[in-house]
Amino acid sequence: MTDRSFPAQPNQFPAVRLRRRRSSDWMRRLVQENHLQVEDLIWPIFVQEENGRSPVPSLPGVDRIGPDLWVEVAGEARALGIPALALFPVVPAHRKTLTCEEAWRTDNLVCQAMRRIRSQVEGLGLIADVALDPYNATGQDGLLSDSGEVLNDETIEALVKQSLAQAEAGAHILAPSDMMDGRIAAIRAALDAAGHSDVALMSYAAKFASAFYGPFRDAVGSSGALKGDKKSYQLNPANAREAELEARYDIDEGADMLIVKPGLPYLDILYRISQTSPVPVYAYQVSGEYAMMKAAAANGWLDEQAIVAETLMAFKRAGADGVWSYAALDLARALRS
């Protein structure tokens, strides 16, 4: 990184007037340090079994998307220049079990959606979430012991099977969000052995045990099913050095890209990791962040478009190479117009 440090100088006003660089729109654009563009955006969408759209009440403006609209929605994203979609399934309750075998069924919702979109929409990246929580009757990201402990190594075996199914269905990127120790190395080895060396891994390297995930769990139908909490595997919000260690381990295990999640409450983590990471780092503006902005805008307290752009610019300023956001489609339209 370029060293921009310089010796301390006394205040030289009036010769030095910093406002000169803020005097007009063209000047402000000329000297702008960071830029937000459509190519920075990843759009998370929820896929459901039923045709049509089902609104998510706690995520205003976000719908669960049915099979009849998968290609249409993907085509709109591609036309706007959004590089990639991230797919999350709304798994029916009768398909959720303690063993989570639906996660690697070759014809599950995510696999169906990826096959259909990839066959009809060219030039759009497809990201598949690797975790068991949408398929788990307990809402946990891992398999449980008889005593209720989330099992690390047994969960990794399940995640490997899920990853292989998603790769076979056409995923370009797999995004393990489970936070099990060692899962990146295991998934990378399995993908390579199965001939999927071109499938990239975008690891949720720093995923915190946050209170900001509630609307997402509503969207995928896991909030009511969740038994207990996820503090035994997701990061403690008080820890920064541990987050850096997680990122380092995931890079060493073969991660091609990293994610920091949530976004705004963890800008310091994003900055720390991005300063030393040799791979791209992404921020995830999670459901709770998005819902707060929508609620404030609905009450007339904030300008929605302006606040969305400002928060995403904060991620770029902190070092993010891109941003996951439920506002990606609206922001892409605004940037293109």
For residue 104 the two structure tokens come to 């690697």
- Return the number of other C-beta atoms located less than 10 Å from residue 36's C-beta: 19
Instruction: Report how far apart, in Å, the C-alpha atoms of 200 and of each of 101, 154, 263 are.
Output: 23, 23, 22
Which is catalytic among the residues 96, 230, 261, 294? Answer: 261
* Catalytic residue flag (residue 207): yes
d(CA 24, CA 10): 27
Question: SS3 of 288, please?
Answer: helix
Q: What is the dihedral of CA 277, 280, 281, 285, to 10 degrees?
A: 170
Give residue 304's Cα distance to chain centre.
21
Task: Tell which residue, 168, 32, 56, has the closest CA to residue 104.
Answer: 168
- Return the number of other C-beta atoms located less than 10 Å from residue 231's C-beta: 11
The H or E element spanning position 28 is helix 25-30
d(CA 1, CA 317): 14
d(CA 167, CA 127): 10
For residue 28 the two structure tokens come to 């402000």
* Catalytic residue flag (residue 161): no
Region of residue 285 (phi > 0: left; psi between -120 and 50: alpha; otherwise: beta): beta
Which is catalytic among the residues 207, 230, 294, 316? Answer: 207
Which positions are annotated as active-site residues? 207, 261
